Amino acid sequence: MVVRSHLSAAALDRLFHALADTTRRDIVTRLLGGNDASVSTLAARYDMSFAAVQKHVAVLEEAGLVTKRPQGRERIVRGNPQRLAYARQLLQQLEHLWTCRFSQLDAVLAEPRPPKE
């Protein structure tokens, strides 16, 4: 079984890099409930500067996990559940691949061995 992706290797790297950070995962979790938020509102929830949260949002946006749109003077951030579902699908494919490989290994190890002479 081959794990296939319609994303480039660089796009996959960006996706999983974005999810590798605790703050970014928390931002995605907050936004995926359908709760759009301004960058300012998000920044108020974290013990870091507005600029740091803005950088986290930019990483998430580059990975396709969130989108931003202007609304007046603010930027409203929305989660992209399709991209997160895609990451889950890729991980499930990898899990299936390794489960199959371990099953094959189990079958080989379960075969009777010829007696040693």
pLDDT, one tens digit per residue, over 57-109 is 999 999 999 999 999 999 999 999 999 888 888 888 887 777 777 666 766 77
Encode pLDDT of 11-53 as tens digits.
889 999 999 999 999 999 999 888 899 999 999 999 999 999 9
Strands 37-38 and 66-71: unpaired
As a whole number of angstroms, the distance between CA 59 and CA 24 comes to 8
* pTM for this model (two decimals): 0.76
Instruction: Please give the CATH number for the structural domain made up of 9-80.
Output: 1.10.10.10
The residue extents of the domains of the chain are 9-80
